[in-house]
Structure 1
Amino acid sequence: MKCVVAVAVLAVGALAMAGCAGDEGGQGGSPASAASLPPPPVTATPSVSNLNDVKLPLDRYTTTIDQLIDLDYASKAVAADCMKRFGITWRFGERAELNALRDRTNRLGLIDEAVAKRAGYHADPEHADDYTQTDRDRTTLTDDQALVLLGTTPGRKAPDGVPEGGCLGEGHRRIAWNLDEDAWLEDLTNEAAGRTFADDRALRIAADWSACMKASGYRYAKPDDANNDARWWKNEKAAASKIEINTAVADVRCKRKVGYLDQMTSILSAYQQQIVEVNAERLETAHQHTQDALKNAATVLSGR
């Protein structure tokens, strides 16, 4: 699959799917006025070997994967109690794992040469389990039961007495988890990434990378073109071909040669810092809301 992601992705959507949440996704609101500002200066370009080791400006405010898992699990625990009021036993399964979202190594494009050698641009077979969520203990709900859980399903509304947003909505409210704020934080993260890749400095880095690739016998204008080469994706389940692997290895080596990760991380950090400065007050409020929700979640889960 095309999973070498060029933009940062929060787990809100993944958790919503894992928990069948549909009540409070919202649009989260758009970033303030940062997008209309001129490109921020890059004051330093430190050496970066792995994006996992970098503290980005928005990291202070975004909900971590472990925090999202706790909030999700506590919400489901409350929802399960709510379902009992309607005579439904809902086993909501194990905690979500979301391991694929923990690793930022290749967030700005394929960087790991070992992965390139094993899998090209495809999902690394050594970490295949990271992309699956096995939940054998979860109850399969009927349509009527799902209506109680979610509060609404396409073309149907929940019966009287079901809380707004269903029992899952009750769970979110009990711990005061604001999914709209998490979606907004995701918007900010994606805004910074999008502006980074469109930045003239990033385009110059891509041009340097392209020249390096050409010298190695490959013609691509930018890294995404190599990742998205249609030849690799005729059958996403098939193992990477030798040609794909050779291309991916050349890609990673050219990125290293032109200082791709160092420079792109610096540009991304500058855009995130600009967004933080524009949205400082709201970000602090969202951060405090998350801390409060985590305390509430811990209370719900204590003794379970």
Structure 2
Amino acid sequence: MPDSDRQPHTSARAQDGTVLAYQRQGSGHPLLLLAGQANNHRWWDGIREDFHATHGTITMDYRGTGASGRPEGPYSTQQFADDALSVLDELGVEKADVYGTSMGGRVAQWIAARRPERVRRLVLGCTSPGGPHAVERDIAVRRSLVQADPAASRQALIDLMYTPAWLAGHPGPYTTLGDPDMPPHARRGHLVASNGHNAWDVLPGIGAPTLILHGDEDRLTPPDNASLLAARIPHARTHVFRGARHAYFEECRHEAGALVAEFLDGLW
């Protein structure tokens, strides 16, 4: 049984009163882990433990997912950032390391740009700045995710997340394919939030040391976005994982985990 299943859910309240479930494990400097679109804390199952030698990890269920409230919306990445800060406030965490992947990386951008005093070090994985400057996925990818056959759409997402070689040795289940219990309005809200993200103008205000990670075969969020972020965020560093797709953090777990740990510890 994963550690996350043995931990009781505790909760904070968002600014609008929405219940926000969060999970805290380990000890050490706080590390806030932010999941991808339409996912809850299970996104980090089996990975978060890699940081527990030096960090206590904090995850949360975005509004609309997991054990959190499911208001009608509208949703936005700015709102998700405010929700994350409400969780840190509830825990009494004044300053945390923040690691966001996919939509979680978009949320992390707002936290680091608007509340720089709350972020010690920042890691942005498989994400983009959003808006007109971002490099968007191609039309074939978009079509593959909205097929009439749900099984075909799910398989398309699996193939975008992982390479065939990795899938051959890892038959699942996979915890990065979305929260299956989300109501339709929340799923739509997450899609609108992610698609509406545009942090281009605030990225130069990020003052925390920043590490940008990406897989070079990522078609869900094309890897050129890593270069865009690195050029926009002062003194950002970039690492690209060769032969990896969107879920580089799982497929390249040992390399990526060690790299992030070293960065958070100030070793490079």
TM-score of the two chains, using structure 2 as the length reference: 0.25
Higher relative contact order (CA 8 A, sep 6+): 1
Higher strand share: 2
Higher helix share: 1
TM-score of the two chains, using structure 1 as the length reference: 0.23
